[in-house]
A and B are shown apart, each in its own frame.
Chain A
Amino acid sequence: MKKIVDVSLPIGPVHPCFKEPARIKCETAGERVIRTEVELGYVKKGIEKIMIGRPWQEIIFLAERVCGICSVVHNTAIIGALEKISNITVPMRAMYLRIILNELDRMQSHLLANYSYCYTIEHETLAMYLLNLRETVMDAIEIMTGTRIMAAYIVPGGVRTDINREIATKICEALDHIEAELPRFVQMFATGPLIALRSKGIGILSVKDAKESGVVGPTARASGIARDAREHELLYTELGWHMIIRQDGDNFSRIMLRFDELFQSVHIIKNALAVIPEGPVRLGNRITSGRTKHTVEAPRGELTYDVELDENGQVIMISIQTPSIMNVDAGSHAMMKNLSSIADVTSTFISADPCIACAER
């Protein structure tokens, strides 16, 4: 049968809804979207190539600059891989501090993702509330590390600086503020009639499609797939982490899952601050040769670093597997297929929280 296509509509690369350049080619029949294709390649820089032949003190800055939104987790992943190769033990206090910073980073990333979604469906009030709440988290990160983004906080054998009682109290205050404010916004999102019209039952990613396309992170967990790299880390389970799953797989459940994870992150950080042990925060150690794969849970899903080092601790081979590429692919093949309106294309694309800078590097 001949395929009927009215208009082939390009969205992007510079578009108000996108934080980054990406182009979505939509094949439409009337208002209905038959098929979409995501075109990437606008921010390719070749970071893995320029990492080769460099020691850790230069790599961690390049790894952080893979993605500016989840910079902390890239730092954690590369240092985790280097420590795994060289059998470096990390002091307990540094492990707790790493978890605190990682969860703060996850909170600001999820708040930004939900901001983007609310902005895309033109609910600017809620978007601005969430963006203002994100500033509170950024303040907590800044008082802990000394800068807002690109903290370079994690080094082999520990972390850069310790936190004292005063900083811990200020982080707790910020978390209390978020715990007090956030339920109101979740209520607004969950019960707003217009939001439900724009979100519920739109961009459905079924379990079968999700398994086929290999989605990770909140996108997978919203479709009922229990997949989270944090389940292999003992310290997270001790601090009260548990898997959050939603079954619907539409835009609404993806955003609500991120709200649920925000509350969980607040819970984890508070537990960590309560039981953090005393001790040193960094015990440097020599990086040696070897090869390994290290997986951590980024705000968008599983992040894997495959690193090979020579005997002087310099990189011979590195490959980064970021979560966004699977989510973007699932978006174009499953979620954005047969949408009833062009206006839902951008919101469905944003609901998977695509990070183009991560995907292309």
Chain B
Amino acid sequence: MTLLQILKNIVRKHSIHVCYVNTGSCNGCDIEILACLSPRYDIEQYGIYVHNNPREADIILVTGTMSAQWIDKLPDIWDKVPEPKAVIVIGNCPISGCAFDRPGALIDPPVSKHIPVSAVVPGCPPRPTEIISTILNSADILFENYETKTERKP
């Protein structure tokens, strides 16, 4: 491993730009992500910055059940994110459809059907502590040695 690679690993670990996309959630998970911004949890001290701009993001946080409107729009957003990139889904809805996964609902879960998902945070909604620890733990692994990684995602 070259010195440059080590430097890149360190920098990527400590500077994560996040964009959250609400694909039809009930707001519960979204405000728990907002609560992570508060000085109590202070997500920015770990180098995580919430941008809400897919073109600047490293990690997309997807909340919500994939409502019909988002089926074509979410892959578009995913394509706009520059490499290296990853998706973390927050809450039960993108994992299984939660309470809405019943006949007659206008949804199409799970999100992993539409874009590749790296990590999940179960819970309805998950606590801010769970969200922060998941982002921190997965970011270490996801972006490590990105250039030399053999298995690239499509």
Contacts and interface: CB of A to CB of B under 8 A. Distances in A.
A and B touch in the complex (CB under 8 A): yes
Interface of A: 13-16, 19-21, 41-47, 49-50, 52, 61-62, 65-69, 71, 112, 115, 128, 131-132, 134-135, 138, 148-150, 355, 357
Interface of B: 19, 21-32, 34-35, 37-40, 51-54, 64-65, 67-70, 73, 77, 98-100, 102-107, 124-125, 127
B105 A15 contact: no
Contact of A46 (B27, B31, B32, B105): B105
- Nearest first, the 8 closest Cβ-Cβ pairs linking A and B are A68-B28, A68-B27, A16-B52, A131-B38, A43-B24, A68-B26, A46-B106, A135-B40
A34 B100 CA distance: 39
Contacts of A45: 24, 65, 67, 100, 105-107
B11 to A, nearest CB: 24
Secondary structure class of chain A's binding surface, majority of residues:
loop
Contact of B37 (A43, A68, A128): A128
B37 A44 contact: no
B27 A357 contact: yes
A134 B107 contact: no
A61 B99 contact: yes
B99 A62 contact: yes
A65 B28 contact: yes
Contacts of B25: 43, 68, 357
B34 A131 contact: yes
A42 B70 contact: yes
Contacts of A62: 99-100
A65 B100 contact: yes
Contact of A112 (B28, B29, B31): B31
Nearest to A136: B40
Nearest to A361: B26
A19 B30 contact: yes
Contact of B106 (A16, A44, A134): A44
B104 A49 contact: yes
Contacts of B32: 148-149
Contacts of B35: 131, 134-135, 138
Contacts of A16: 51-53
Nearest to A124: B37
Contacts of A68: 25-31, 125
A225 B86 CA distance: 49
B64 A43 contact: yes
Contacts of A138: 35
Q: Name the residue among A13, A41, A65, A112 with the largest chain B CB count within 10 angstroms.
A: A65
Nearest to B104: A49
A113 to B, nearest CB: 11
A67 B26 contact: yes
B30 A20 contact: yes
B21 to A, nearest CB: 6
23 contacts: A14-B21, A16-B52, A20-B22, A41-B69, A42-B70, A43-B22, A43-B69, A45-B67, A46-B107, A49-B105, A50-B102, A62-B100, A65-B26, A68-B30, A71-B26, A132-B38, A134-B38, A138-B35, A148-B125, A149-B28, A150-B124, A355-B27, A357-B27
A135 B69 contact: no
Contacts of A150: 28, 124-125
Contact of A19 (B31, B53, B68): B31
Contact of B100 (A47, A69, A132): A47
Contacts of A15: 52
A115 B70 CA distance: 27
A12 to B, nearest CB: 11
A13 to B, nearest CB: 8
B23 to A, nearest CB: 8
Contacts of A44: 24, 67-69, 106
Contacts of B24: 42-45
Contacts of A149: 28, 31-32, 125
A67 B102 CA distance: 18
Contacts of A46: 100, 104-107
Nearest to A128: B39
Contacts of A19: 22, 27, 30-31, 34
A38 B34 CA distance: 24
A62 to B, nearest CB: 5
A14 B52 contact: yes
